[in-house]
Amino acid sequence: MARRKIIEIDRTQCNGCGLCTTACAEGALELDAEGKAVLVREIYCDGMGACLDVCPTGALKIVEREGDSYDAGAAYRHVFETRGRDAAGRVQGAGPAAGHGTAPCCPGSAAREIAVEPDSGADAAVSAKSRLSQWPIQLHLVSPAAPYFQGSDLLVAADCTAFALGGFHQELLRGRKLIIACPKLDETAGYVEKLTEIIRGNGLRSLNVAIMTVPCCSGLERMVREAVKLSGVPLEVTRVVVGIDGRIVPEG
């Protein structure tokens, strides 16, 4: 066993809607005889928390505790047997080695090429001026007491957004202070608490969160929204979603 992130279910809040069981691509959740959500096996839970986005009662949360490590191959076989090949292809981290043909890996890490249009004369003339106005920017490193956060417009961005969106500096960063983080690869313990301090103590004018379309990225938005809730500050969170094709995805 190892200490890791895993789903925890508050049965007193679960209303048995079953939305989490379909949102979990790994098949880690099901309804028991009492109509309550339960964790089928620890090894099926990847700890990314896609189920949190659909729970209407707040019965689910991700905790860090001792548990059996996530097994992508076992999750793939479980979903393949219970939901079929197409569903198994969406299992986080599963690939050909999982045991059933050529299932793709999770949407966030699947290899693909993106068509890039050749530069035009107008493209070549676009300024590449940096709009970064503070340092550091990584959430582990920033201080909640840094003076540049005071009264600022804050952008909390997933690491990959700046690489995917060609106009990141002009379209998202201009006029804002920046914090970057990766909900999948970072050690995120303490992230919500630090964001809460930043929001509570700096009188932010606005708060924007930029994420990618890949499933694991939604974890960053959840952390930001949880921090706003804990801070007690009535601050609206504006979300921007960037596709892997480098375009901003329209809301709605």
| pLDDT at site 100 | 43
Look at residue 124 and tell me if it is in a domain.
Answer: no
Structure confidence at residue 54 (pLDDT): 84
pLDDT, tens only, 187-230:
888 899 999 999 999 999 999 999 999 877 888 998 999 999 99
Do 23 and 68 form a contact (C-beta atoms < 8 A)?
A: no
pLDDT at 221: 92
Q: Say whether pLDDT at 39 is over 50.
A: yes
The CATH number linked to 208 is: 3.40.50
Q: What is the pLDDT of residue 99?
A: 47
**pLDDT (0 to 100) of residue 88:** 85
Residue 200 lies inside a defined structural domain of this protein: yes
Alpha helices in 42-142 (DSSP H): 72-83, 85-88, 121-125
- The CATH number of residue 49's host domain is 3.30.70.20
- The residue among 19, 36, 70 that closes a domain is 70
Residues 139, 35, single domain; the answer is no
Residue 89 lies in a domain: no
3 state DSSP class of 247? coil
136 in a structural domain: yes
- For helices 191-201 and 218-231, the axis angle rounded to 10 degrees is 50
Q: What percent of the chain has pLDDT over 70?
A: 86
Question: Is the distance from CB of 198 to CB of 151 less than 8 angstroms?
Answer: no
Complete DSSP assignment for 64-93: EEEEPPP-HHHHHHHHHHHH-HHHHTTSTT
End-to-end CA distance of the chain: 42
Q: Is residue 147 part of a domain?
A: yes
Give the chain's domain count: 2
- Read off the tokens for 137: 């920017």
**pLDDT exceeds 80 at position 108:** no
Average pLDDT for residues 19-35, to the nearest whole number? 91
Statement: residue 105 has pLDDT above 70: no
Q: Check residue 42 and give its pLDDT.
A: 93
Judge whether 26 lies within some domain.
Answer: yes
Provide the pLDDT for residue 107.
52
Return the pLDDT at 115: 63
Q: What share of the chain in percent tops pLDDT 90? A: 57
Range of lowest pLDDT (8-12, 107-111, 116-120, 209-213): 107-111
85: in domain:
no
The residue among 70, 93, 118 that closes a domain is: 70
CB 188 within 8 A of CB 221: no
For residue 213, being part of any structural domain is answered with yes
Closest alpha carbon to 198 in 159, 158, 153: 153
- On whether both 51 and 146 belong to a single domain, the answer is no
Q: From 41, 70, 99, give the residue that closes a domain.
A: 70
In this predicted model, what pLDDT tens digit does every residue of 55-91 receive, in sequence order?
889 899 989 899 899 998 899 999 989 888 888 887 8
Residue-range definition of the domain harbouring residue 62: 2-70
